[in-house]
Structure 1
Amino acid sequence: MSSVPGQYQRVLSGMRSTGKLHLGHYHGVLQNWVRLQHEYECFFFVADWHALTTHYEDPSIIGDSVWEMVIDWLAVGVNPGSAKLFIQSQVPEHAELHLLLSMMTPISWLERVPTYKDQQEALKEKDLATYGFLGYPLLQSADILIYKAGQVPVGEDQVAHVELTREVARRFNHLYGRERDFEAKAEAAIKKMGKKNAKLYNELRRKFQEKGDHEALATAQALLESQSNITLGDRERLFGFLEGGGKIILPEPQALLTQASKMPGLDGQKMSKSYGNTIPLREEPEVVEKSLRTMPTDPARVRLTDPGDPGKCPVWPLHEVYSDDDTRKWVQEGCRSASIGCLDCKQPMIDAVLKELAPIRERAKDFIEDPKLVRNIIAEGNEAARDVARDTLEEVRAAMGLNYR
Structure 2
Amino acid sequence: MYQERVLSGMRPTGSLHLGHYHGVLKNWVRLQHDYPCLFFVADWHALTTNYDDPRGIDGATWDMVIDWLAAGVDPEKAVLFIQSQVPEHAELHLLLSMMTPLGWLERVPTYKDQQEKLTHKDLTTYGFLGYPLLMSADILIYRADKVPVGEDQLPHVEFTRELARRFNHMYGREPGFEEKAKEAVKRLGSKRARSYEHFRTRFQQDGDAGAVAKAHALLDEVENLAHEDRERLCGYLEGTGKMILVEPGALLTEASKMPGLDGQKMSKSYNNTITLREDEASVTQKVKRMPTDPARVRRTDAGDPARCPVWQLHEVYSDDEVKGWVQAGCRSAGIGCLECKQPVIDGILREQAPMRERAQRYLDRPALLREIVAAGNDKARQLARETMADVREAMGLGYR
> Shorter-chain TM-score: what band?
over 0.9
Distance 2:390 2:2 in 1: 16
Distance 1:229 1:188 in 2: 16
What TM-score do the two structures reach when normalised by structure 1? 0.95
Tell me if 1:77 matches 2:100. no
Q: Which residue of 1 aligns with 2:57?
A: 62
Distance 1:295 1:114, change over 3 A: same
Q: Which residue of 1 aligns with 2:273?
A: 278
Unaligned runs of 5+ in 1: 1-5
Q: Which residue of 1 aligns with 2:313?
A: 318
Tell me if 1:219 matches 2:214. yes
Q: Which residue of 1 aligns with 2:134?
A: 139
Distance 1:105 1:243, change over 3 A: same
Question: Does the 8 A contact of 2:13 with 2:64 survive in 1?
Answer: no
Among 335, 338, 341, the residue aligned to 1:346 = 341
Question: Does the 8 A contact of 2:6 with 2:38 survive in 1?
Answer: yes
Tell me if 1:193 matches 2:188. yes
Unaligned runs of 5+ in 2: none
Q: Which residue of 2 aligns with 1:362?
A: 357
Q: Which residue of 2 aligns with 1:30?
A: 25
Tell me if 1:331 matches 2:326. yes
Q: How does 1:13-24 map to 2 (within 5 A)?
A: 13-24=8-19
Distance 2:208 2:114 in 1: 41
Per-residue deviation, 1:150 = 0.5
Alpha-carbon RMSD across the aligned residues, in angstroms, is 1.5
Distance 1:209 1:263 in 2: 44
Q: Which residue of 2 aligns with 1:3?
A: none
Distance 2:144 2:191 in 1: 32
Question: Does the 8 A contact of 1:271 with 1:277 survive in 2?
Answer: yes
Per-residue deviation, 1:217 = 3.4
Distance 1:246 1:172 in 2: 10
Per-residue deviation, 1:215 = 4.6
Distance 1:272 1:153 in 2: 20
Distance 1:129 1:257 in 2: 31
Q: Which residue of 2 aligns with 1:149?
A: 144
Q: Which residue of 2 aligns with 1:261?
A: 256
Q: How does 1:34-45 map to 2 (within 5 A)?
A: 34-45=29-40
Per-residue deviation, 1:213 = 4.3
Q: Which residue of 2 aligns with 1:301?
A: 296
Partner of 1:256: helix, strand, or coil? strand
Distance 1:304 1:158 in 2: 45
Tell me if 1:243 matches 2:238. yes
Among 86, 103, 106, the residue aligned to 1:108 = 103
Q: Which residue of 1 aligns with 2:159?
A: 164
Tell me if 1:7 matches 2:2. yes
Distance 2:103 2:208 in 1: 33
Partner of 2:293: helix, strand, or coil? coil
Q: Which moved more, 1:55-64 or 1:233-242?
A: 55-64
Per-residue deviation, 1:369 = 0.6
Distance 1:200 1:308 in 2: 65
Distance 1:195 1:26 in 2: 51
Distance 1:308 1:16 in 2: 41
Among 210, 215, 228, the residue aligned to 2:205 = 210
Per-residue deviation, 1:192 = 2.2
The size of the alignment, in residue pairs, is 400
Question: Does the 8 A contact of 1:309 with 1:336 survive in 2?
Answer: yes
Distance 1:208 1:138 in 2: 29
Per-residue deviation, 1:59 = 1.4
Distance 2:218 2:72 in 1: 37
Distance 1:140 1:319 in 2: 36
Give the share of equivalent positions with the same residue, in percent: 68
